[in-house]
Structure 1
């Protein structure tokens, strides 16, 4: 244990910790912070988020047919609120707009006229429309209307007759119908989009931070000829295995710290209220290969980030032992980060376990069910094999 703690101190040096902190802050504000600052990007996304938050509190994580009927009353109440909000607005009254339906009709007539006039818009009318939309509950009403229209359309139309259903493979169609037989969820698109992209940047940073932390591990020993002293006895030779254990533990601890630090601003945006909501959105055409909840999906994403960090740690230590100076290790660390972090991490955390395709040239190739788990498992296996081979090679070396 004493040797482990000594190796642990060699990894967690103050200089590298400062470098990680500065680099982490820069990376967060350059890439990740966008998905926090614009968690619900736009008034439509914000309206969907607000409505879904209210429905979770009122109806629970799903919207069943008997609960859907109450939304008609909510729509009428929202329209009544709209009428109250424009009651004292002079330009609207002058045009005879006293209700939401009147405003929608005026808006539709204007856009139709613009199309007939080859897209030439009237700026005063445009300003009037946007002022009406931005200062009323217009977006809540339109989002609610869209949801009710899509909900009823899905309920009244068999899957075999729904647009786009036949474009899926037989396996995908069967999965869609299995999901449809379950709960009718309404998880907002903005939550899914921000969660997945935020997790993707977390994965990339976790790989980069692990590579930065562990790259000097064996290089420093070679520079100070520490290995030669250790090889002078069989007991000292076993230190290398302790270093591997300390390095892998360091990769786990650093990745967990990244997850916790990233979770603080993310949780502050309020997505955990949808923890029990199913990923399957009754009114959207975006499906997963497994029937889970948003909370379960978050745990899966955290697990993927953690395993990717461990795989990167193992590969970094393997490459580090073959570098006699820091420049040489840097030349190995950059390709490692690009392959494991940017390419593999970007692919793994890009809507994992959803129906999706990758493009090989002009050829679209569907990602098979569980393809992400296969790739992640392969990276872990490769890391283990490389470290196991390195251990055998060390044991066979002459003193």
Structure 2
């Protein structure tokens, strides 16, 4: 061949390659449209609607009428010397208000109660049975304020050594169920290193209320479950529908047609990830609006003892939950679609999908999503490393991809007479 012939041959190969890529993109777009049809989308939205009730129900930002977000933001983003001084000042103000309340109470004057200290002494005598209960202080805003501020002091105002001891106790209980002097055994090196890091940043702890962390954990767990189920419902229909419309038979009539199955895998994975990110994004935006004053606060709180594997702000943790929802949705949906395959009708498909969906929901609720990215996650008893939940989801995604590649390879090697 001459040089000109080689040049024309290369151009022809490039043209065929471009045509193949263009055809692949067209097929991929068709597969995406088959997934995002009205009926599957409606079913996914119904799952989202039901899941949203649980998400809202496990949100604790209004605790008995108290605004948990406002309480978290009251003394600033960091529990430092300035915050400690402000808390002491607020306690003094609350005690002055309590003294004024006692001065206005005839029962208190009769019992000789003039301020908070004399009330405490009177309360101890009453408990010992020396006085009859006559002063109802629990309903007073000043009394509730004093109790709340002193609770913050008792939980947060401890030394670095005491903090380390409490974190060690928490780790022993979490991993070995050892508590109050029971032998703990050796902790994993990763856990010890994390405790050292948390102790080292003693002066940079935030003042997030307990219910803020609990809201992230509990509502986030339900969000992950909802995202996973939405993705599974959305992506369960296309293969069965193809078989009902005899599209599968046409695809299997040639080896070129069988290659479409790999594009279907990509479309299912992308659609599931998009569905998970959509649900996770809605949840993150909804909570982000409610937590706007504390989005920049660190997740490591002086008022919360569970050990988080990562630092970062509330905003970053919301984003991490949303990204994890996308990963979980892709992993579970791909694995489910690979197991279910193309059934002869929708009833057979649902009979297989529903048990898989229940098992997936239990896995997310009791394993993956429980105390996500905290030491308390059950997976840390097997492998105590930061982000073990994401590692498990990635492994599950790789397993699902491997299953699909096996299916695609088996189809491509079939003879046309099959």
Query: For 1:17, which of 35, 41, 58 is the aligned residue?
Result: 41
Match of 1:175 among 188, 194, 205: 194
Partner of 1:55, secondary structure, is coil
Q: Please, what TM-score do these two structures have when normalized by structure 1?
A: 0.81
CA RMSD of aligned residues (A): 3.3
> Unaligned regions of 5+ residues in structure 1, if any?
none
**SS of the residue 1:291 aligns to:** coil
1:199 pairs, out of 220, 228, 247, with 220
Bigger-Rg structure (1/2): 2
Deviations 1:100-133 (A, max 9, x none): 34444444444454xx99xxxx9x86xx64xx43
Is the contact between residue 180 and residue 282 of structure 1 (CA under 8 Å) also seen in structure 2? no
Residue 156 (structure 2) aligned to one of 136, 151, 160:
151
What is the number of residues matched between the two proteins?
Answer: 375
Deviation for aligned residue 1:385 = 1.0
The residue that corresponds to 1:33 in the other structure is 56
1:332 aligns with 2:355: no
1:82-101 alignment runs, 5 A limit: 82-84=98-100, 88-89=104-105, 91-101=107-117
Once the two structures are overlaid, the 10-residue window that deviates more, 205-214 or 62-71, is 62-71
Indicate conservation of the 8 Å contact 1:276/1:294, yes or no.
Answer: yes
Query: For structure 2, which runs of at least 5 residues remain unmatched after alignment?
Result: 1-24, 173-183
1:266-323 alpha-carbon deviations (Å, 9 max, x no partner)? 23432x4333323323354322233333333222222221100010221122123242
Residue 381 of structure 1 deviates from its aligned partner by 1.4
| Residues 336, 353 of structure 2: 8 Å contact kept | yes
What is the aligned counterpart of 2:297 among 273, 277, 289? 277
**Residue in 2 that maps onto 1:69:** 85
1:368 corresponding residue in structure 2: 384
Asked if the contact 2:370/2:378 (under 8 Å) is kept, the reply is no
Deviation for aligned residue 1:256: 2.1
Alignment of 1:77-226 (within 5 A): 77-84=93-100, 88-89=104-105, 91-113=107-129, 129=136, 132-155=137-160, 157=162, 159=164, 164=169, 167=172, 169-170=186-187, 171=189, 172-182=191-201, 183-226=204-247
- Residues 325-354 of structure 1 deviation map (CA, whole Å, 9 limit, x = unaligned): 223222321232233332145322211232
**1:180–1:231 Cα change, 3 Å:** same
Report the alpha carbon displacement of residue 153 of structure 1 after superposing the two structures with TM: 3.2
- For the structure 1 residues 85 and 155, does the alpha-carbon distance in structure 2 shift closer, same or farther, using more than 3 Å as the test? farther
Report the CA distance between 1:389 and its aligned residue. 1.3
Match 1:387 to one of 404, 408, 413: 404
**TM-score between the two structures when normalised by the length of structure 2:** 0.78
Whole-angstrom distance in 2 between the partners of 1:23 and 1:298: 21
Structure 1 Cα separation of the partners of residues 209 and 306 of structure 2 = 12
Measure, in 2, the Cα distance between the counterparts of 1:394 and 1:375: 29
Distance 2:377 2:352 in 1: 31
2: CA distance between counterparts of 1:96 and 1:264? 54
Over 3 Å counting, the alpha-carbon distance change for 1:165 and 1:388 in structure 2 is closer
